[in-house]
Each structure stands twice: as C-alpha cells, then as structure tokens.
Structure 1
Amino acid sequence: MTISVECFLLDPQHSGTLQSRIRQMVAEGILAGRLRPGERMPSSRRLAEHLGVSRITVTLAYADLVADDYLRARGRSGYFVSDSAPQPGDFPQPGARGTDVVDWARALGHRPASGQLNMGKPRNWREFRYPFVYGQADPELFDHANWRGCMIQALGQRDFARMTDDQFEQDDPGLLEYIARHTLPRRGILARGDEILVTLGAQNALWLTAQLLLNQRRNAGIEEPGYPGLRDILNQTRCKVTGIPVGPRGLEPDALPEGMDVLFCTPSHHCPTGATMPLEARHALLVVANARGLLVIEDDYEFEISHDRAPLPALKSLDREGRVIHIGSFSKSMFPGLRLGFLVGPAEFIREARALRATVLRHPPGLLQRAAAHFLSLGHYDAMLRRLTRAFAARRAVMLAAVRAEGLTIAGAAGDGGSSLWMRTPDGVSATELSQALRADSVLIEPGGPFFGESLGNDRCYRIAYSSITQDRIAEGIARIARRTRAMTPQGQRTSRAG
C-alpha cells in the first residue's frame, strides 16, 4: 500500500535544513508506528510538490533514510519502509506532541462510569471454552444467509436513497410499519407512527427518556439490583435515585416510596434476576402510578424469550392515562451488534425525543434500518426467534439440572425463561474472586456487584448465561464452577453445609 502524501507535514518549529527536517519527519513517523514496514513511500516528485520543496531535497533525504535502514529502495518501484527499520517501542517516542498540562479531573463537567456495561467480560471471551457470558450472539443460531440477503437487498438501487440520503429526523417507514403492525400488537400495544421512535438500542432509548424527564429537582426510582447502564444514565441527569428491592415476583408496587417522579422497571423479565411481574401486580402498579402522578418507563427486556408460556401483556397495553413509556429492542433477539430498538409513548413525548435524538445523531443508519425492515417483514426474524427459543429452553434445562446436581444456589427465578440464571455464592465466597479464579479453568461468569448500588456492595451474586455456550459444554462448565466454589468456601461453612 502506498502511503498517502497528505500524511506528511513539515513542522515549522523544527530547526535545520529542509533535507534534515524531511528525514526527521519520516523517521518519527516510523518510530511512532504510523509508517509500517513494507508500505510504499510517496514518490520524490509527489512529496516535493506536496511540501513545496525541490525534488532533489526529497531525493537526498530518502537517500539518508536508506543509509540508516529506515527505507529501502526497490529498483524502479520506489522507496519502501524497511522491514528492519526500528519499531515502536525500540526507542523513546519523539515528544512532538508536547506535554498535556490540562487537569482533566477539574476540566470535565461530567465523568461517566467506564467499564460497567461490559460487566468485566474480556474482549477475547470467545477463546474461553465455557463462556457463561450474557448478551452475545451464538453463530450457530444466527441466520447468516438471510441476513446477508437482506443486507444485499438494502444495498440495491431500489433502496439507494433510503441508504444514502440524510433522512433528517425521520425513520425508515418499513421498519416503523413492522413495529406498529406486528411487534407492538404482540405486546397488546396499539400505536401510530408518530408515537414510535427508532433508537440505537434500549440503552439509547433509556438515555433519551432520562434526559427529557429528569433533572436535579426530580426523583427517579430504579430496581435493586438493576441494570448498571441505567444507573450511569441517571447519574448524568443529577437526579435523586432511589433503589427499590426486587423480590421473587419482581418489583412490588406496595414497596414504592413516596415522592418519585419517574419509575424505571423491567416487568416482563427482570434484569438480572429473571423474575416476571404477575398480571395483578402490573395492574396494581398502574393504580399507584395514576394516584401519585408517576411516570413509568417500561423496559420490555427479553419478553420474547419465554420458553413455556405466552408473555404477559405489557404495562403499556394496560395503561389508560398515557403514563407508561415503552422501550423495546431487537439487539438481544437478533444480534447485539445491530443496536436497533424503539421507544413508544404519547406523540408529544416522541416529538421531543425525536428532536433530542436529532441533536446527537439525526437517525440510526438508514442501511441498518432498511436491512432490518426486510429481515423482519420477510419472516426471517420470527423463524430465527422460534429456533432461538427452542435452543435456549434446551440449554436452560441442562443448566438447571447441572446446577441442582452440583448443589449450587439459584438466587433468582428458575422457570421464567430468558437467557441466564442469577446465582449466589456460599457465605464467605466473593463472586468477584470466584470469577477471577475461574478464568484459569477457561470459565467466564459475571460478578453481580455492578447490578447493585454503591451502598449495598453485594459481592455474593453472579450471573451465568447460556446464550453464548453450546449445550454440550454446559454441564462441565457448571461442574468447574462448583469445584472452584467448594475450594473457596471456608472450612467451617463446608462442614456445616455437609452436615
């Protein structure tokens, strides 16, 4: 590959002759790793024209670099970065950038928490033999062929304008139609096009909602434990955040404290315990919300992955006063990298959410929206979802049998579907330390600490998911978790348990 001539710029503050400055410029580029072995340098004529110097000056600089083994001349082909040139790290890096003297701790007006959303999952998680990690796609279950076909269709001339044009604040009409006519009615929700907004996944929908509804003078209620990304979003608004304990039936309406303005909840499948709020509790929550003037944000999390029962009606479908704002996502059921979700609410709210979204990103990429619309409308999504649900049900059965056989403790719901189990360690065993120790056994689990508020500091819970591990490896992976857990359990606790 030929290095673009635009990559070169003479620093006017460097002293010396033009020849030495060109030599220094190229050498620093190689030492910094910007110019890599085997890459072709611009011709002496082109570089001379670009820098505004004579060609002989560049030729002499190149000759010096060849003599020092930074470059290598190859007959009539030109000059290339030498394969034996000094590599980054071999020598101290040039200090051309200067010293950063800004005190960023004082300069930053806001500091979002980092590293929370991946829950400590390493980037190379696929290299582990027993990856009980949540929210990643299984290539064995994904419909590669049909998704590829829909992408090709979206790239066609017929969809060219939808893919390439700036749509301003508007979403893909085909995707909106599918959401309005197929996705939402399955949840009992009827909505017009002006009551739906396409988002970059549920995370983006939560951020838009929090930015519009909360400020320093308002109070938000969240589930405890709950989604760590939501807590980070609410901290950005500087509102008061109140954690509400979640029981076996999910959030209990009777436990809601007074004084809240907005409640965030996951009634269909609580994150991370997996509990499902019963129908009577949903009605009771709306009664409380209506009486107190409370807005409810419903994150319809994993509703579609219910193995042995039809999903309960969404809160939004039961709402008669327009107090519920509904959030859905295709990221978990199709594939996480898609980052497409939707927000459903009163037209006035959606209008403001659309305007806020436009200040940040206009609209999600048109190509992805159109490809997703094709994939959904052609029936590929429903077929893949049925296959996914059957596979997850089989994996869950194997995992539950292995967990019970090994004597591990389930802390959350055991029979409400989803794609994970919420677990608890024995007394005296840190889930964080357990997760670190298990990596030596090629096992990945997710410590539960980030799901709790800072004041609770719970380090005995962890999550094990079966979306990313094949069924034949589950039993052995659970056995390895059990062995490590027993080895880390204090002697007295093991003795009392055995008795």
Structure 2
Amino acid sequence: MSLLDRYFIEPLDRRRGLQQQVHERLVEAILDGGVPPHEPLPPTRDLAEQIGVSRNTVVLVYERLVEDGYLTPVKRRGHFINEQYVRQQLTVPSAFRPSALFRGDEAEGKAWAERLRLHPSLNRNIVKPANWRDFRYPFIYGQVTTDKISIARWRDCTRLAGTPYHANAWVGDLIDADDALLVEQVISRVLPQRGLKARPEEVLITIGSQNALYMAANLLAGPGVRVGVEDPGYVDARNIWRVTGAELVPLSVDGNGIVVDERLGGCSIVYVTPSHQSPTSVTMTLSRRLALVEAARQRDLLLVEDDYEHELNFIGAQRGALKSFDNSGRTIYLGSLSKALFPGLRLGFAVAPEPLIREMRALRRLMYRHPSGLDQRAMAIFILEGHLDAHIRRSRDQLARKWTVINREIGQLLPDCRPTVTTGGSSVWLRLPAGIDCWDLQRAAARRSVLIEPGDIHFLSEDAPRNFIRLGFAALGLEQIAPGLAELQLAIDDLRRGGP
C-alpha cells in the first residue's frame, strides 16, 4: 500500500485539469507529513497507474514540485521530500493562550461592544442565500449567467497581462497610482459612451463602484451633514452614508426617477441612481435630470451619481450620464467595469473634480493602496481588444429578450401583481396583491424552489410597506422565466388559501 493512498481516495474530477489536481494532492501530502523524508515518492509509472492518469502527467507534476522546492531528485533513487524547505512551510504550533477578553466566551461580546465605535453589522441589510443556485427559479438580483466566451477572453487577457511585455506594469507596488493603460481606456472608450470627458487627474480606479462611494462618503459626509437618498433606494449605499454619521433625508421616487421638490432644500448631498433606479429600475427622464442638475446649482448641492447599469436600456437611445448635463462641477460619477461582466471581479472607477480625486486617492492609499495591478492590466487589455463592448452587446441582447418575456408573462401569469414600468434593467419591481406579505410569499415561494427578494428592506423607514418584491432575471435562462412565474402564482394561491 502506497503512503499516498489516503490522499487519492477520492477519484480525480475529470472536469478539471488532472495535472493541477495531482499537484494539489501531492502538496497536501508533503505539508501534512504524509511522506517520510527518508523514503522516495512512488515512481512516476506506479503512481500514474494507481490514480488513473498518464505517466506524463505525473512526470510534469514531479518536475514542477522540484522547481518549487518541494522535492529533490536523487539519481537512481527517485524523488525525495526537500525536508529543509518543507519545514519552513509547516504551521508552527502556538503556545499562546488568549486572555478572557479575546477568548470567545460569554464576556467577549460585551467587552468588544464597549470598545467598538461603530456597529455596521446592526444595519438592516439585504440577505441573499449563498445557495441561490440550488433553486430551480432564482429570481435574484446582482447575479449573472456564465458567459463562456467572455470567460475565455478574460483568461486570454490575464495570460497576456502576465507576459514580460506587460508584467512591469503590475509586479511592483503602484503605491497610490493606477494602471495608466486602464485609465486611458476608461477615458477613451468607456466615458464617451456615457457622454463624459475627463482628464487622468479626474479618474480613480476602485474595487467596485461601491468602494468609490464609501471613500467619497467618508470624505464629504459626517455628523451634521444631510444626505438625500432615494426612497426606496439602494440599501448598501444608505448604510454607507449612515455609518458616516450623516442624517438621511428620504426622497420620493416616481416613474420618472427621483422627485425634485422642496425636500432637496435641506440637503448638502444627494445620492441618485439615474440609469436604473435601485430597486425600481425606472430610468430618470431627461427633463428630471435637467431639473436635478439645476436644483443642485441653485441650492449648492453635491450630486453623487451611481451609474451601475448604464448599458441596460432596451427602449430608445442610450441616455447620457447625469454628470454630462452638469457644467458646474457638482456631480461625482461612480461606474463599474465588472458588474455587467463578472460581478465578483470588483473593478470600478470614479470621475470627479481633481481636488476630490486627489483626496480619494490618498484615502485609498491608507485603505489598500490600489486595486490589483494584474486585474487592472487585464481589464485594460480586455477593453482595448474590444471584448468588453462585445460582452455588453451580448448581455444587452440576452437581457432585452428576458426583459420582454418577463414583462409579458407577468401580465399573463401574475394578473393581480403590478410591475413598475421601465425601459430596461435586469430586475422587475413588483407590487403584490392586497393582503399578500412579501416575507410570507418569499417563504411560500422557496418551498416551490422559487427565490424572490422581499422589497421592504429598500425603504428607509423601519415601518416599510411589505407588499413589494424584486425579481432579478439576469441569472435565469430565458426558458425558466414563465415556469418560475407560474410557480410564484401558485405560492400566492397557497397564501390566499391559508396553506403552506
């Protein structure tokens, strides 16, 4: 019996690279001490037969482990563990015994609570199940279907970014700088599609647009500052402003976007999502944009524009960003480079007057210095080669078809529900029939493997209406929409009958 048997009890996954799996398991065995340093590893032919792979696969793995310092080849004897190297990698047992404050007993919570100045965990947050893929009909917002073409293109771009030609742009510490090629691509390829112009000094790359919002909020808001937020509105943004100590002012939303009225008067900052309002997905009209920009000028307001779904307009021409109508320099523009591509990539940017960008850059340096240089260079290549534009065209076409189908099928399958009229986006804001509670419906729908999002969390008041839900459709296949809505109607019928 081989010393490595227990590390290969589970068969290799043929959907993944075999060489990578063999390498992972051998490293685990070496670091676990599974192979004594005085005994050689099995010959390549024997191990290959044992685990069901080609001998060449094992040869390549052994060569790689030698290059990485885990193994030492000995002529005519085989491959031995490099004991000195491996000893450096092993976890050192600790004799430290934590004091009562840090021990994790009942007193810990009280001790830490007395020391913490902020408690962000106490904010009301959207909760989305990690196992959302287990639902047959996941009407979840913020997730996407897998685009195999874009994944392959991204892999190509990361490979290019790792070549010697590009490596000097990211292997070193950028300190507080951004990848110059990415900034150039944002200025020349991304901003013009939104009606914007900017100089490099007015652009900052961030870990997603929300990171940009967090920095701007911490620089501009605080106790005594009144911030106008859409109601209903984006929950995480609301919590970011609240953490600064600012006072939040609820601003109504109608079918044309945020309502411009006297409630703006007491605000210093107004946060808006004009392209597709979160969560209703309505697009702010041109007249409303002009009115908001003029109100900001007259009342000396700052506008923070979160343009997270600019590309997803399916009816009429694409609208220019709110900032494109502002000639007084009062608008801070936040955009995402990854939300429509791969939400988990987390790359975004901010466009604002140079004095603010300078301070955001300095704050970013204190937080994490800069986003991954490798990711920045890969994204720059991705944009430069036209892959981002191509991905957006494919996504827009797919989402436009889903948007058409879900709005049509809601009218047929959910006749007592009232969707908010929109011109695009990746979700539908739905008013439920009288007497149906959004949380009761969420539980009833989950029993039918339908995942929906209760809407009360999006309202500023804790006494929020409980007759709204949001249906995201980007993570669904086109063929899943109608059956999913039919199951949702059955869940509504269950509640009306008082059943499960």
TM-score, scaled to structure 2: 0.78
Instruction: Give the distance between the partners of 1:115 and 1:389, measured in 2 at CA.
Output: 34
Match of residue 330 from structure 1? 337
Query: What are the superposed Cα offsets for residues 284-322 of structure 1, whole Å, 9 maximum, x if unpaired?
Result: 111111111000001112110111322212111111111
Checking the alignment, whether the CA contact within 8 Å between 1:268 and 1:311 is kept in structure 2 is: no
Contact 1:128–1:442 under 8 Å retained in 2: yes
Deviations 1:152-189 (A, max 9, x none): 11111112122211001111111101111121111111
- 5+ residue gaps, structure 2: 5-27, 39-79, 82-94
Q: Which residue of 1 aligns with 2:241?
A: 234
Secondary structure, counterpart of 1:184 in structure 2? helix
Asked whether the equivalents of residues 316 and 324 of structure 1 are also in contact (C-alpha less than 8 Å), the reply is yes
Matches for 1:47-446 after TM superposition, within 5 Å: 99-100=103-104, 101-102=107-108, 103-113=111-121, 119-140=126-147, 143-408=150-415, 411=418, 413-446=420-453
Cα separation, partners in 2 of 1:141 and 1:399, compared to 1, 3 Å: farther
User: Offset at 1:400?
Assistant: 1.3
State the 1:408 CA deviation.
4.4
Larger radius of gyration: 1
Report what 1:72 is aligned to: none
For residues 444-480 of structure 1, what are the alpha-carbon distances to aligned partners after superposition, in whole Å with 9 as ceiling and x for unaligned?
1111122111333222111111100101111000001
Q: What letter is aligned with 2:407?
A: L
- Would the alpha carbon gap of residues 454 and 216 (structure 1) be closer, same or farther in structure 2, given more than 3 Å must change? same
Number of equivalenced pairs: 412
Of residues 465, 482, 485, the one that matches 1:458 is 465
The match for 1:71 is: none
Alignment partners' CA distance in 2, 1:456 and 1:302: 29
Question: Deviation of residue 213 (structure 1)?
Answer: 0.5
- Is this contact kept in 2: 1:116–1:229, CA < 8 A? no
Give the secondary structure class of the aligned counterpart of 2:228.
Answer: strand
Query: In structure 2, how many angstroms separate the alpha carbons of the residues matched to 1:338 and 1:389?
Result: 19
When the two chains are superposed, the root-mean-square deviation of aligned CA atoms in Å is 2.6
Aligned-partner residue type, residue 171 of structure 1? D
SS of the residue corresponding to residue 329 of structure 2 reads coil
Task: Name the residue aligned to 2:20.
Answer: none
Secondary structure of the 2:266 match is: coil
For the residue of structure 1 that corresponds to 2:120, the secondary structure is coil
Q: 1:226-266, CA deviations, whole angstroms, 9 ceiling, x for partnerless residues? A: 01101111111101111111111110112533211000001
The ranges of structure 1 where at least 4 consecutive aligned residues each deviate by more than 4 angstroms after the TM superposition are 41-45, 94-98, 114-117, 408-412
Shift, 1:202, TM fit: 1.3
Which residue does 1:26 correspond to in 2? none
Counterpart amino acid of residue 335 in structure 2: G
CA deviation profile, 1:72-130 (whole Å, cap 9, x unmatched)? xxxxx99xxxxxxxxxxxxxxx996564444222221101136966x322111112111
* Alignment check: 8 A CA contact 2:428 2:470 kept: yes
With normalisation by structure 1, the TM-score equals 0.78
1:40 is the counterpart of 2:33: yes
Cα distance in 1, alignment partners of residues 310 and 419 from structure 2: 17
Higher mean displacement: 277-286 or 425-434: 425-434
What is the one-letter code of the residue matched to 2:354? Answer: A
Name the CA shift for 1:390/1:255 in 2 (closer, same or farther; >3 Å). farther
> 1:309 & 1:299 partners in 2: Cα distance?
21
CA shift for structure 1 position 141: 6.2
Amino acid at match of 2:33: R
Q: Which moved more, 1:97-106 or 1:383-392?
A: 97-106
Deviation at 1:331, TM superposition (A): 2.4
User: d(CA) in 2 for partners of 1:40 and 1:473?
Assistant: 49
Q: Secondary structure in 1 aligned to 2:485?
A: helix
Tell me, in whole angstroms, the C-alpha distance in 2 between the residues paired with 1:255 and 1:141: 49
**In structure 1, what is the Cα distance between the partners aligned to 2:463 and 2:311?**
31
> What is the one-letter code of the residue matched to 1:331?
S
Whether contact under 8 Å (1:294, 1:323) holds in the other structure is: yes
- CA contact 2:271–2:306 (8 Å) conserved in 1: yes
Q: Which residue of 1 aligns with 2:9?
A: none
Selected match of 1:468 from 452, 462, 475 = 475
Q: Percent identity?
A: 36
1:427–1:489 Cα contact (<8 Å) kept: no
Q: Distance in 2 between matches of 1:126 and 1:427?
A: 30
Which letter maps to 2:387?
H
The Cα offsets for residues 48-83 of structure 1, whole Å up to 9 and x where unpaired, read as: xxxxxxxxxxxxxxxxxxxxxxxxxxxxx99xxxxx
| Residue of structure 2 in register with 1:85 after alignment | none
Change (3 A) 1:313 1:44: closer
Q: How far apart, CA to CA, are the structure 1 residues paired with 2:273 and 2:416?
A: 23
Corresponding residue SS for 2:168: helix
One-letter code aligned to 1:180: I
Q: Is the 8 A contact 1:176 1:193 kept in 2?
A: yes
